[in-house]
């Protein structure tokens, strides 16, 4: 056991406290990582608010990068000193979905309390949220959650890849399966939305329309590849159809708001699809017309973590960044210390931030 500092949540929707917790050594198939940087994702905030379930006390954080310090028995492909992205994608490798090439929806359950590597000083388990618990100086995670990256890759930028980038880019490239010449709508121009725009651009979309409530975020969306922007007021789907001359081939919803999902099919053209990326709290539901969608051959598709295969796709993302074909530095709105995590969360909740990053090194 070793002592590490972490941001611990003991009551939902109340400020986290920086505490010393105990971290055990890596076991079979596990890896210990010193965290250099961890970004704040809206999923972390939803967990902290109690909207995604889980247990308390808990350590959140799942979008991280750092350096391997130790490996357990059976670990292959990485060693102490390797730089890595730390993701929440805990994949067994042998269930039906993993074997079908979809590790992001691995069907093997993980008990993040009973099997948690972190505990209080008196030995009580602490919930390792999303199998990561990366709002901490150090983590122990399964080897399936890591991807080795070049040592010269800036860790603040690399942390974004671990969730926001692969989720947005992958939603466009893999989940939406955008084809060259298609028209795309991205609802939400936050961190994930900007990456969805970049993904649509990479996939060869003809026109990419960004929809958001804040005019300043729409201006940023243009910098990331949006060809048109529409303010989310009144009936924005009608404005989008005026721009496109028809409905969209794909609508990527990157905000976790149920009302937006009610509206999303209204943007579609015949044969189009809604891609669900943003996740509302568990008690929120949405409604749509099955008659209209069935008659027009439309679809609703779920996308978790962009349907990525991290050991295949993160190296591709890194290369795209190094080639200047993917904007990542521009995604960072602010850099904070672990002691400032509550202020960073409040800034993220305001909706103005692209991505706030907690720097631990």
10 Å Cβ neighbour count for 179?
A: 12
One domain, residues 295 and 334:
no
**Domain range enclosing 232:** 177-302
One domain, residues 186 and 151:
no
pLDDT for residue 315 is more than 80:
yes
Which domain-ending residue is among 286, 302, 318? 302
One domain, residues 214 and 278:
yes
Q: Stretch 111-139: mean pLDDT, rounded?
A: 97
Q: Are 107 and 94 in contact (CB under 8 A)?
A: no
One domain, residues 284 and 313:
no
> pTM of the entire structure?
0.95
Q: Which residue has the tokens 């949540």?
A: 9
One domain, residues 148 and 220:
no
Q: How much of the chain is helix, strand and coil, in % rounded to 5?
A: 35, 25, 40
Tokens of 226: 């949006």
pLDDT of res. 13? 96
Domain count, the chain: 2
CA distance 29 to 26: 8
One domain, residues 90 and 119:
yes
CA distance 224 to 262: 26
Which domain-ending residue is among 302, 317, 351? 302
One domain, residues 200 and 311:
no
pLDDT for residue 173 is more than 90:
yes
One domain, residues 122 and 185:
no
One domain, residues 182 and 111:
no
Q: Which residue has the tokens 């243009």?
A: 222
Convert the pLDDT of each residue in 203-249 to its tens digit.
Answer: 999 999 999 999 999 999 999 999 999 999 999 999 999 999 999 99
Nearest CA to 322 among 115, 152, 105?
152
- Residue-averaged pLDDT of the chain: 97
According to DSSP, the residues that pair with 250 across neighbouring strands are 184, 273
Convert the pLDDT of each residue in 154-168 to its tens digit.
Answer: 999 999 999 999 999
Convert the pLDDT of each residue in 262-278 to its tens digit.
Answer: 999 999 999 999 999 99
pLDDT of res. 187? 98
205 domain-assigned: yes
Element (H, E) at 203: helix 191-203
Residues 6+ apart with CB under 8 A from 17: 7, 8, 10
pLDDT for residue 37 is more than 80:
yes
CA distance 136 to 157: 18
Q: Are 85 and 314 in contact (CB under 8 A)?
A: yes
Q: Are 6 and 135 in contact (CB under 8 A)?
A: yes
One domain, residues 94 and 118:
yes
Confidence of residue 352 (pLDDT cuts 50, 70, 90): confident
275 domain-assigned: yes
Nearest CA to 304 among 187, 48, 130?
130
pLDDT of res. 353? 84
One domain, residues 156 and 9:
yes
pLDDT for residue 350 is more than 90:
no
Which domain-ending residue is among 259, 275, 302? 302
N- to C-terminal Cα distance for the chain?
22
pLDDT of res. 132? 98
Q: Which residue has the tokens 């359950």?
A: 109
348 domain-assigned: yes
CATH of the domain at 288: 3.40.50.720
Cα angle: 138, vertex 77, 2; to 5 degrees: 20
How far, in whole angstroms, is CA 211 from its chain's centroid? 19
Convert the pLDDT of each residue in 61-118 to its tens digit.
Answer: 999 999 999 999 999 999 999 999 999 999 999 999 999 999 999 999 999 999 999 9
350 domain-assigned: yes
Cα angle: 44, vertex 251, 224; to 5 degrees: 70
pLDDT of res. 351? 81
Q: Stretch 198-205: mean pLDDT, rounded?
A: 98
CATH of the domain at 118: 3.90.180.10
| Main-chain phi, psi angles of 92, to 5 degrees | -75, -30
One domain, residues 190 and 210:
yes
pLDDT of res. 339? 98
CA distance 201 to 196: 9
172 domain-assigned: no
pLDDT of res. 57? 98
Tokens of 14: 């109340």
170 domain-assigned: no
% of the chain surpassing 90 pLDDT? 98
168 domain-assigned: no
């Amino acid at each position: 056991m070793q002592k590490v500092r972490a941001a611990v949540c003991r009551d939902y929707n109340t400020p986290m406290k920086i505490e010393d917790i105990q971290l055990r050594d890596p076991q079979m198939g596990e890896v210990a990582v010193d965290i250099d940087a961890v970004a704040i994702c809206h999923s972390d905030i939803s967990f902290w608010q109690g909207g995604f379930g889980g247990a308390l006390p808990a350590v959140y954080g799942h979008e991280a990068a750092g350096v391997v310090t130790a490996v357990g028995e059976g670990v292959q492909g990485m060693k102490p000193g390797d730089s890595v992205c730390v993701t929440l994608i805990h994949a067994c490798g042998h269930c039906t979905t993993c074997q079908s090439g979809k590790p992001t929806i691995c069907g093997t359950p993980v008990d993040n309390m009973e099997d948690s590597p972190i505990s209080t000083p008196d030995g009580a388990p602490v919930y390792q949220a999303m199998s990561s618990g990366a709002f901490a100086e150090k983590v122990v995670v399964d080897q399936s959650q890591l991807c080795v990256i070049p040592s010269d890759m800036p860790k603040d930028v690399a942390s974004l890849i671990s969730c926001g980038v692969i989720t947005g880019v992958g939603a466009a490239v893999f989940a939406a399966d955008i084809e060259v010449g298609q028209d795309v709508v991205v609802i939400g121009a936050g961190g994930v939305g900007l990456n969805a725009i970049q993904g649509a651009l990479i996939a060869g979309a003809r026109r990419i329309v960004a929809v958001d409530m804040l005019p300043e975020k729409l201006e940023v969306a243009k910098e990331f590849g949006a060809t048109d922007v529409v303010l989310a007021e009144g009936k924005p789907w009608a404005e989008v159809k005026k721009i496109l001359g028809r409905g969209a081939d794909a609508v990527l919803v990157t905000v976790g708001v149920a009302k937006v999902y009610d509206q999303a099919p209204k943007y579609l053209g015949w044969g189009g699809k809604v891609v669900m990326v943003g996740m509302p709290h568990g008690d929120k539901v949405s409604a749509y017309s099955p008659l209209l969608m069935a008659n027009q051959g439309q679809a609703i598709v779920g996308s978790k973590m962009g349907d990525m295969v991290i050991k295949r796709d993160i190296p591709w993302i890194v290369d795209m960044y190094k080639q200047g074909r993917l904007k990542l530095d521009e995604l960072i709105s602010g850099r904070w210390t672990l002691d400032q995590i509550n202020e960073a969360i409040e800034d993220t909740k305001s909706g103005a931030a692209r991505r706030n990053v907690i720097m631990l090194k």
